[in-house]
Amino acid sequence: MREYRVTKYDPAFRDARGSYTRDEWFSECQVGRVFDGVVLTREEYQRVEGAYVVAVIGFLLEAGVSAMTVVGLENYGNVQLAFGEGNALPLGQIGEVIGQVLRAKFWCRLEGPEAFVHFGYDYYMYVGVPWACPAAKRLARRVGLFVEPFRSPHRVRERK
Instruction: Specify whether the CB–CB gap between 7 and 143 falls below 8 A.
Output: no
Predicted pLDDT of residue 159: 38
| Environment class of 94 (CB within 10 Å of its CB; exposed 0-12, middle 13-18, buried 19+) | buried
Predicted pLDDT of residue 157: 58
Predicted pLDDT of residue 144: 98
Predicted pLDDT of residue 18: 92
Predicted pLDDT of residue 160: 38
The pLDDT averaged over each successive group of 10 residues in the chain (160 residues) is 97 95 96 97 98 98 98 95 97 96 97 96 96 98 98 73
Predicted pLDDT of residue 156: 76
